Structure 1
Amino acid sequence: MIIEPALVNPTAEDDLLGVDPFIFGYGFAADGAPTRLTWEDLISGKAAEYPRYWVHLNRLSKQAHGWIFRKSGLDRVVAHALVQEETRPRSQHHGRGFLINLRAVNQNEGADPEDMVALRMWASDTVLITVRARPVQATRDVEAWILAGDAPNSNGGLVAALASALTNRMEPEVANLDSRADTFEDQVLDPDVRMPRAELAEFRRTVLGLRRYLVPQREALSQLLREGSADGLFPESIALQLRESVDRVTRLAEDLDAIRERSVVLQEQIMEERTDLTNQRLFVLSLLSAVFLPISFVTGLFGVNLGGMPGINSPMAFAILSLVLLGTTGLMLAIFRWRRWM
């Protein structure tokens, strides 16, 4: 059962929590000229007077929830999908528009890039609604293009621009992971450098965290391209741009697969080297035990302090015994060297 949130007062709980429901928005005239929108334009219905508009909302705001469920004109299935807690990348044709969930690398201060942030979208010919909980830098990139006069001439173009901006932000992170994999390989090959296993394990976790969402994102964009081109949301020029984003995401996913495989090989190589080092140390201890075994036997035998022991009354007995033990040790070492055990 889907429970709709109440439309709360703008001065109530959200203001107390410091949550702004409205991040930015633009209305586009017939010639494509953008006009900045406000939260008041949205709740009053003025935004709908434009041929098309784009609003970017904060999912953590109850006011945003209220507008999505009560004022946006979206059905409950789409509204609920835009505000739900957990999502995975997907694209679904629903009615006259598309429900799109994509992921972006987390480039916020103090955050880990693999802790990817969600960007939910509802896209139709006239309306583009994007919703996020944590800042998505790619949306600001597209906004900068709009302010620079490079606004796409359709909402499909805005979706393609967002997909491209998300991919632009991912590429440096994947390239950085590839560079770190090269560094790890150099460290493994350098006998003077000992790389902590925890560092490589954390690296593998980062790669897997990115891959977890990047592979489904490739499928989501591919499905969006197929269905959006058939529906008319993406004309040929826009479809070409979106296809380029699909190809780039595919390449990034393949790069992550290669990095993951390299990290597995590095982990196995480190384990082999440490196993070899342990075996070498155990082998040295075994040789030492074998060398001193006859010495221990003889000294133990002569230490029983019983009558009849040879050399008890001879002043040369200790020297002779020491020479015999040294000779035995030399003989054992010569045998080990001859058998190439050391």
Structure 2
Amino acid sequence: MSTDRLKAAFESGVPGCNWIVRFDEDGHAEAGSAADLDQIDNPGPGHVWLHLDCIDRRFIDVLRHLKTLTAEAREALAGDANHQFVEHADHTICGAIVDHQHAIDGPKEDTDFLRFACGPGFLITARRIPIYSAQATRRALADGVKANSPIALFELIVTNLCKCSASMMRDISVSLDRIEDNVVIEGRGRDQRAGLGHARRSAVRLARQVNGLQSTLERLEEASEAFDHKDFAEVATSLGQRADSLARDAANLQDRARMLHDEINAILTTETNDRLYTLTVITALILPATFVTGFFGMNTKNLIFAESESGTIYASFICLAASLGALLMLWRMGLAGTDAEGRAKPAPKARKRLG
């Protein structure tokens, strides 16, 4: 079992801070401490990653201590985010992106905003619940992955976020494959509605998140000139392309789910029509016999077969003959027979008279 090199980063002693990680000039990560907060206001060699807990309101005191943060960055980190966005001012990029909740057994469908502020020599992130991308990035840094600049660290975080979304899309795709086999190949539609409903809801939520991330990263690419780092434009372009790919995959998932939904509805409609057809034929066969029994149930004089010892037998034969006559009429009209595939035969076309 590997040792977590950055475990000491959790013990920074700063209220409202989850961890502090500092990086040397080569991008190697080490557990940081409260003393590294001064490097945010006084950039030197390397950079610092400060990850805050928004539930602990003492994190606002940490933000007040950082004089280099702009008003926009403070609002992005401490405000109530309700959409994904990105802003830039005074060589600082800030905003919020949607990420998935991190649990012991992996990422969950529940989401929250990962707030961030990235500037020369620092990256500050904040969250309300454990976020997958931040946890995955910290583990990667503990395993030796390097981040030689704050924007490279931000790229690593967003990359892990995109990998998480892509993994969830693959799970949804596998579910749709299974449903598609049951619906198209086996013709089972009624018992697949619950699974398809869950897959569609997950696909819609992911598509909404990915589309918001795509537009946010597009604005990040437009803001690349405001950041004083030569690789920022390249990083922003790379992240934008990754988000575009995710958006296309999410749209494809939604299209597949919608087509399966239509296919299931078509199967259910066919089943309903078959049942209504059977019920109609049965009703048509019973209706003449019902009329006959109603006729012989009249309390009138001179009713035929009323005085006959075999009247019940004669009436039964009349009921059977009426039903057979109705069946023959339905067959001649093409409503009682079926073809090789179990469908009702079409009514025969009227012949044209010659001459």
Scaled by the length of structure 1, what TM-score is found? 0.84
Counterpart for residue 167 of structure 1? 162
The aligned counterpart of 2:345 is: none
- The Cα shift of 1:309 comes to 0.8
What's the Cα RMSD here?
2.6
Q: Does the CA-based 8 Å contact 2:39-2:48 persist in structure 1? A: no
Task: Confirm or deny: 8 A CA contact 1:187 1:195 kept in the other structure.
Answer: no
Q: Which of the residues 193, 196, 203 maps onto 1:197?
A: 193
d(CA) in 2 for partners of 1:131 and 1:199? Answer: 35
Query: Are the equivalent residues in 2 in contact too, given 1:59–1:131 (CA < 8 A)?
Result: yes
Residue pairs, 1:1-342, within 5 angstroms: 21-38=16-33, 40-41=34-35, 45=38, 48=41, 51=44, 52-109=47-104, 113-189=108-184, 190-192=186-188, 194-228=190-224, 230-236=225-231, 239-342=233-336
Structure 2 distance, partners of 1:48, 1:147, is 26
Q: Could you say what secondary structure the match of 2:136 adopts?
A: helix
Q: CA contact under 8 A between 1:119 and 1:132: conserved in structure 2?
A: yes
1: CA distance, partners of 2:90 / 2:165: 31
SS of 1:106's partner is strand
Hey, what's the Cα distance between the residues in 1 that align with 2:331 and 2:84?
Answer: 64
Cα distance between partner residues in 2 of 1:47 and 1:76: 16
Q: Which amino acid aligns with 1:214?
A: V
Q: Distance in 1 between matches of 2:61 and 2:314?
A: 101
Q: How many residues align?
A: 320
CA shift for structure 1 position 20? 6.0
Contact 2:189 2:264 in 1 (8 A): no
Specify the SS of the correspondent of 2:101. coil
Provide Cα deviations, 1:263-298, integer angstroms capped at 9, x if missing partner.
Answer: 222222222322222222222222222212221112
| 1:201-248: CA deviation from partner (whole Å, max 9, x where unpaired) | 2222211111112111112112213322x2344434x64454333222
Of stretches 177-186 and 199-208 in structure 1, the one that deviates more from structure 2 is: 199-208
Q: Which amino acid aligns with 2:169?
A: V
Q: Is the 8 A contact 2:92 2:119 kept in 1?
A: yes
How far has the Cα of 1:149 moved from its partner? 4.0
> Does the CA contact (< 8 Å) of 1:58 and 1:131 recur in 2?
yes
Q: Give the Cα–Cα distance (whole angstroms) in 1 for the partners of residues 327 and 108 of structure 2.
A: 58
| Counterpart-to-counterpart distance in 1, 2:25 and 2:252 | 47
Give the Cα separation in 1 of the matches to 2:241 and 2:146. Answer: 23
Work out the CA distance in 1 between the residues paired with 2:48 and 2:107: 33
Deviations, residues 143-187 of structure 1 (Å, cap 9, x unaligned):
334334432221121111212121122211111111111112122
Question: CA 1:176/1:101 → structure 2, altered by over 3 Å: closer, same or farther?
Answer: same
**For the residues of structure 1 that align with 2:32 and 2:300, how far apart are their CA atoms?**
107
- Say which SS state the counterpart of residue 57 (structure 1) adopts: strand
Structure 1 CA distance, aligned partners of 2:334 and 2:104? 59
Ranges in structure 2 where 5+ consecutive residues have no aligned partner: 1-13, 337-355
For 1:74 and 1:241, the matched residues in 2 are separated by 22
| Aligned equivalents of 1:147, 1:112: Cα separation in 2 | 19
Q: Give the 3 Å change call, closer, same or farther, for CA 316–142 of structure 1 in structure 2.
A: closer
